Amino acid sequence: MYYQVEKQDGYYRIGSPENVFSYLFVGSKKAALIDTGYGFGDLKSVVRSITDKPLIIINTHGHCDHTGGNAQFDEVCYIGEKDIEVCREHSEASMRKDNAERAKNSMNYESGETYNGLPDAFDMEAYCARGTGTLQSISEGACFELGGVTLKIYETPGHTKGGISVLYLEKNLLFIGDATGMFVWLFAKETTDLETYIAAVRKMYDLDAAYYIGSHNPNPIRREELLRYIRAAEEADYEKGEPFESFFGMEYEPRVCALDGKTLREMFQSDFASVVIGKDKRK
Ligand SMILES: [Zn+2]
Protein backbone atom coordinates (compact mmCIF):
# COMPACT_ATOMS: atom_id res chain seq x y z
CA MET A 1 0.00 0.00 0.00
CA TYR A 2 1.25 3.48 -0.84
CA TYR A 3 0.33 5.04 2.51
CA GLN A 4 1.45 3.62 5.83
CA VAL A 5 -1.12 3.90 8.58
CA GLU A 6 0.10 3.60 12.15
CA LYS A 7 -2.24 3.70 15.11
CA GLN A 8 -0.88 5.96 17.84
CA ASP A 9 -2.29 6.73 21.27
CA GLY A 10 -5.51 8.54 20.33
CA TYR A 11 -4.87 9.20 16.64
CA TYR A 12 -3.57 7.71 13.38
CA ARG A 13 -0.35 8.68 11.66
CA ILE A 14 -0.56 8.36 7.88
CA GLY A 15 2.85 8.38 6.23
CA SER A 16 3.84 8.45 2.57
CA PRO A 17 7.10 7.48 0.83
CA GLU A 18 8.30 11.07 0.61
CA ASN A 19 8.30 11.35 4.41
CA VAL A 20 5.25 13.50 4.92
CA PHE A 21 2.84 12.65 7.69
CA SER A 22 -0.85 13.44 7.97
CA TYR A 23 -2.69 12.87 11.23
CA LEU A 24 -6.22 11.54 11.59
CA PHE A 25 -8.43 11.88 14.67
CA VAL A 26 -11.65 9.96 15.08
CA GLY A 27 -14.10 11.12 17.74
CA SER A 28 -17.52 9.68 18.56
CA LYS A 29 -19.23 12.26 16.31
CA LYS A 30 -16.69 13.54 13.80
CA ALA A 31 -13.22 12.98 12.43
CA ALA A 32 -10.45 15.44 11.61
CA LEU A 33 -7.46 15.22 9.30
CA ILE A 34 -4.40 17.42 9.79
CA ASP A 35 -2.69 18.04 6.45
CA THR A 36 -3.12 16.15 3.18
CA GLY A 37 0.51 15.66 2.10
CA TYR A 38 1.47 15.97 -1.58
CA GLY A 39 -1.61 13.91 -2.37
CA PHE A 40 0.17 11.66 -4.90
CA GLY A 41 -1.76 8.62 -3.66
CA ASP A 42 -5.43 8.09 -2.84
CA LEU A 43 -5.44 9.60 0.64
CA LYS A 44 -9.21 9.90 0.68
CA SER A 45 -9.66 6.13 0.39
CA VAL A 46 -7.21 5.59 3.22
CA VAL A 47 -9.10 8.01 5.46
CA ARG A 48 -12.43 6.50 4.48
CA SER A 49 -11.16 2.99 5.19
CA ILE A 50 -10.61 4.12 8.80
CA THR A 51 -13.70 6.25 9.41
CA ASP A 52 -16.97 7.18 7.73
CA LYS A 53 -17.68 10.06 10.15
CA PRO A 54 -18.12 13.65 8.94
CA LEU A 55 -14.63 14.97 8.27
CA ILE A 56 -12.90 18.24 9.12
CA ILE A 57 -9.66 19.02 7.30
CA ILE A 58 -7.04 21.35 8.78
CA ASN A 59 -3.93 22.55 6.91
CA THR A 60 -1.10 23.56 9.24
CA HIS A 61 0.13 25.83 6.43
CA GLY A 62 -0.10 26.37 2.69
CA HIS A 63 2.92 24.45 1.38
CA CYS A 64 2.35 21.86 -1.33
CA ASP A 65 3.47 18.93 0.84
CA HIS A 66 0.70 19.75 3.33
CA THR A 67 -2.17 20.77 1.04
CA GLY A 68 -1.55 18.78 -2.16
CA GLY A 69 -4.25 16.24 -1.31
CA ASN A 70 -6.93 18.77 -0.33
CA ALA A 71 -8.71 18.55 -3.67
CA GLN A 72 -9.39 14.83 -3.22
CA PHE A 73 -11.93 15.80 -0.59
CA ASP A 74 -15.30 17.54 -0.92
CA GLU A 75 -14.99 18.89 2.62
CA VAL A 76 -13.82 22.39 3.56
CA CYS A 77 -10.11 22.70 4.34
CA TYR A 78 -9.31 25.13 7.17
CA ILE A 79 -6.12 27.15 6.81
CA GLY A 80 -4.61 30.32 8.30
CA GLU A 81 -5.82 33.36 6.36
CA LYS A 82 -2.30 34.52 5.51
CA ASP A 83 -1.48 31.15 3.93
CA ILE A 84 -4.33 31.03 1.44
CA GLU A 85 -2.24 32.75 -1.23
CA VAL A 86 0.74 30.43 -0.60
CA CYS A 87 -1.58 27.46 -0.95
CA ARG A 88 -2.84 28.78 -4.30
CA GLU A 89 0.70 29.24 -5.59
CA HIS A 90 1.70 25.79 -4.37
CA SER A 91 -1.31 24.20 -6.07
CA GLU A 92 -0.47 25.48 -9.54
CA ALA A 93 0.06 22.88 -12.26
CA SER A 94 3.73 23.76 -12.79
CA MET A 95 4.61 23.26 -9.14
CA ARG A 96 2.61 20.04 -8.96
CA LYS A 97 4.44 18.72 -12.01
CA ASP A 98 7.87 19.59 -10.56
CA ASN A 99 6.97 17.88 -7.29
CA ALA A 100 5.76 14.73 -9.00
CA GLU A 101 8.82 14.56 -11.29
CA ARG A 102 11.08 14.93 -8.27
CA ALA A 103 9.17 12.21 -6.40
CA LYS A 104 9.95 9.81 -9.26
CA ASN A 105 13.58 10.10 -8.21
CA SER A 106 13.15 10.15 -4.46
CA MET A 107 16.30 9.60 -2.45
CA ASN A 108 16.85 7.38 0.53
CA TYR A 109 19.30 9.57 2.46
CA GLU A 110 20.68 6.69 4.50
CA SER A 111 21.50 4.37 1.59
CA GLY A 112 21.86 7.04 -1.11
CA GLU A 113 19.62 4.97 -3.40
CA THR A 114 16.88 6.53 -5.49
CA TYR A 115 13.38 5.11 -5.82
CA ASN A 116 10.09 6.00 -7.44
CA GLY A 117 8.03 7.72 -4.73
CA LEU A 118 4.85 7.80 -6.83
CA PRO A 119 2.09 5.21 -6.58
CA ASP A 120 1.66 2.70 -9.43
CA ALA A 121 -1.59 4.20 -10.69
CA PHE A 122 -0.36 7.80 -10.68
CA ASP A 123 -2.07 10.04 -13.25
CA MET A 124 0.16 13.07 -13.87
CA GLU A 125 -2.40 15.00 -15.88
CA ALA A 126 -5.16 14.60 -13.31
CA TYR A 127 -2.75 15.44 -10.50
CA CYS A 128 -1.58 18.67 -12.12
CA ALA A 129 -5.15 19.79 -12.83
CA ARG A 130 -6.16 19.68 -9.16
CA GLY A 131 -6.59 22.95 -7.32
CA THR A 132 -6.44 23.93 -3.67
CA GLY A 133 -9.60 22.23 -2.48
CA THR A 134 -12.22 24.41 -0.76
CA LEU A 135 -10.26 26.68 1.56
CA GLN A 136 -11.69 28.46 4.56
CA SER A 137 -9.66 30.68 6.86
CA ILE A 138 -9.31 29.86 10.54
CA SER A 139 -7.77 31.78 13.43
CA GLU A 140 -6.42 31.41 16.94
CA GLY A 141 -8.88 29.95 19.44
CA ALA A 142 -11.05 28.01 16.99
CA CYS A 143 -12.03 24.71 18.53
CA PHE A 144 -13.34 21.45 17.06
CA GLU A 145 -15.26 19.04 19.28
CA LEU A 146 -15.15 15.63 17.63
CA GLY A 147 -16.67 13.77 20.58
CA GLY A 148 -14.01 12.84 23.14
CA VAL A 149 -11.39 14.54 20.98
CA THR A 150 -10.99 18.31 21.16
CA LEU A 151 -8.72 20.17 18.75
CA LYS A 152 -7.78 23.79 19.40
CA ILE A 153 -6.05 26.12 16.95
CA TYR A 154 -3.02 28.27 17.78
CA GLU A 155 -1.33 30.64 15.35
CA THR A 156 2.36 29.79 15.09
CA PRO A 157 3.87 31.95 12.32
CA GLY A 158 7.48 31.77 11.20
CA HIS A 159 7.95 29.07 8.56
CA THR A 160 4.93 30.71 6.93
CA LYS A 161 3.01 33.82 7.96
CA GLY A 162 -0.27 31.98 8.37
CA GLY A 163 1.06 28.81 9.99
CA ILE A 164 -1.11 27.19 12.67
CA SER A 165 -0.63 24.44 15.22
CA VAL A 166 -3.32 22.15 16.57
CA LEU A 167 -3.56 21.19 20.24
CA TYR A 168 -5.17 17.83 20.98
CA LEU A 169 -6.47 18.77 24.41
CA GLU A 170 -7.21 15.35 25.87
CA LYS A 171 -3.66 14.09 25.20
CA ASN A 172 -1.93 17.48 25.45
CA LEU A 173 -0.17 16.98 22.10
CA LEU A 174 0.62 19.90 19.81
CA PHE A 175 0.68 19.17 16.08
CA ILE A 176 2.95 21.82 14.63
CA GLY A 177 3.35 21.10 10.91
CA ASP A 178 6.72 22.62 9.97
CA ALA A 179 6.49 25.47 12.52
CA THR A 180 9.70 24.49 14.28
CA GLY A 181 12.26 21.71 14.43
CA MET A 182 15.97 21.04 14.22
CA PHE A 183 16.08 22.20 10.60
CA VAL A 184 13.36 24.78 10.09
CA TRP A 185 13.13 26.60 6.74
CA LEU A 186 12.80 30.34 7.29
CA PHE A 187 14.05 31.73 4.00
CA ALA A 188 11.16 31.94 1.53
CA LYS A 189 9.02 34.98 0.83
CA GLU A 190 6.16 33.50 2.86
CA THR A 191 8.42 33.31 5.93
CA THR A 192 8.21 35.89 8.75
CA ASP A 193 11.15 37.66 10.36
CA LEU A 194 13.12 35.76 12.99
CA GLU A 195 11.56 37.67 15.90
CA THR A 196 8.08 36.50 14.93
CA TYR A 197 9.35 32.92 14.62
CA ILE A 198 11.05 33.08 18.03
CA ALA A 199 7.87 34.44 19.64
CA ALA A 200 5.87 31.58 18.13
CA VAL A 201 8.27 28.93 19.46
CA ARG A 202 8.14 30.59 22.92
CA LYS A 203 4.36 30.41 22.71
CA MET A 204 4.56 26.70 21.88
CA TYR A 205 6.90 26.22 24.83
CA ASP A 206 4.48 28.05 27.14
CA LEU A 207 1.66 25.76 26.03
CA ASP A 208 3.57 23.06 27.89
CA ALA A 209 2.49 20.21 25.62
CA ALA A 210 3.54 16.66 26.46
CA TYR A 211 5.01 16.38 22.93
CA TYR A 212 5.27 18.49 19.79
CA ILE A 213 4.60 16.52 16.65
CA GLY A 214 5.88 17.69 13.27
CA SER A 215 5.03 16.66 9.74
CA HIS A 216 8.32 15.21 8.53
CA ASN A 217 9.83 13.50 11.54
CA PRO A 218 8.16 10.53 13.20
CA ASN A 219 9.95 11.33 16.47
CA PRO A 220 7.96 13.71 18.67
CA ILE A 221 9.82 16.77 19.95
CA ARG A 222 10.19 17.19 23.71
CA ARG A 223 9.47 20.57 25.23
CA GLU A 224 13.10 21.20 26.33
CA GLU A 225 14.22 20.86 22.72
CA LEU A 226 12.26 23.99 21.85
CA LEU A 227 14.71 25.99 24.00
CA ARG A 228 17.55 24.92 21.71
CA TYR A 229 15.49 25.83 18.64
CA ILE A 230 14.87 29.29 20.12
CA ARG A 231 18.57 29.71 20.86
CA ALA A 232 19.46 28.62 17.30
CA ALA A 233 17.26 31.41 15.97
CA GLU A 234 18.52 33.99 18.46
CA GLU A 235 22.16 33.24 17.69
CA ALA A 236 21.76 32.77 13.93
CA ASP A 237 24.40 34.61 11.92
CA TYR A 238 23.87 34.44 8.16
CA GLU A 239 27.50 35.31 7.45
CA LYS A 240 28.68 32.22 9.32
CA GLY A 241 25.97 29.98 7.89
CA GLU A 242 26.56 26.98 5.66
CA PRO A 243 25.13 27.34 2.12
CA PHE A 244 22.11 25.09 1.67
CA GLU A 245 21.74 23.37 -1.70
CA SER A 246 18.11 22.69 -2.38
CA PHE A 247 15.65 22.14 -5.19
CA PHE A 248 13.64 24.96 -3.69
CA GLY A 249 14.30 28.63 -3.08
CA MET A 250 17.88 28.97 -4.33
CA GLU A 251 17.08 32.60 -5.21
CA TYR A 252 17.05 33.34 -1.47
CA GLU A 253 20.60 31.95 -1.11
CA PRO A 254 19.61 30.02 2.01
CA ARG A 255 22.19 29.12 4.65
CA VAL A 256 21.98 26.73 7.55
CA CYS A 257 22.83 28.43 10.83
CA ALA A 258 23.30 25.68 13.37
CA LEU A 259 23.73 26.00 17.09
CA ASP A 260 27.21 25.70 18.61
CA GLY A 261 28.99 25.84 15.25
CA LYS A 262 27.70 22.46 14.08
CA THR A 263 27.48 21.65 10.37
CA LEU A 264 24.96 19.77 8.26
CA ARG A 265 27.07 16.63 8.55
CA GLU A 266 26.04 16.57 12.20
CA MET A 267 22.33 16.97 11.59
CA PHE A 268 21.46 13.46 12.72
CA GLN A 269 22.89 14.10 16.16
CA SER A 270 20.17 14.43 18.78
CA ASP A 271 21.26 17.90 19.92
CA PHE A 272 21.39 19.43 16.43
CA ALA A 273 19.37 22.64 16.14
CA SER A 274 19.35 25.15 13.32
CA VAL A 275 17.47 27.70 11.30
CA VAL A 276 17.77 27.92 7.52
CA ILE A 277 17.63 31.61 6.63
CA GLY A 278 17.93 33.64 3.45
CA LYS A 279 20.24 36.51 2.66
CA ASP A 280 17.51 39.08 3.30
CA LYS A 281 17.09 37.72 6.86
CA ARG A 282 20.56 38.78 8.01
CA LYS A 283 20.55 40.26 11.46
ZN1 LIG B 1 6.31 23.82 4.99
How many Å lie between the centroid of ligand 1 and the Cα of residue 28?
Answer: 31
Contact 186, 194 (CB under 8 A): yes
Q: Which CATH number fits domain 4-281: 3.20.20.100, 3.60.15.10, 3.90.1150.10, 3.90.180.10?
A: 3.60.15.10
Strand ordering across the sheet containing 173-177: 143-145, 150-155, 164-168, 173-177, 211-214
Count the Cβ atoms, other than its own, within 10 Å of residue 84.
16
Q: Beta 76-80 vs 55-58: how paired, if at all?
A: parallel
33 in Cβ contact with 23 (< 8 Å) = yes
**Separation of CA 51 and ligand 1 centre (Å):** 27
In the reported structure, the alpha carbon of residue 160 is separated from the centroid of ligand 1 by a whole-number distance in angstroms of 7
Q: What per-residue confidence (pLDDT) applies to 107?
A: 80
Percent of the chain with pLDDT over 70: 99
The strand pairing partners of 213, in sequence order, are 175
190 C-alpha vs ligand 1 centroid, how far in Å? Answer: 10
Question: Which carries the bigger pLDDT value, residue 19 or residue 10?
Answer: 10
> What is d(CA 133, CA 91) in angstroms, rounded to the nearest whole number?
9
The pLDDT tens digits for 91-139 are 999 999 999 999 998 887 778 888 898 999 899 999 999 999 999 999 9
Instruction: Name the residues around ion ligand 1, CB cutoff 5 A.
Output: 63, 178
pLDDT of residue 282: 58
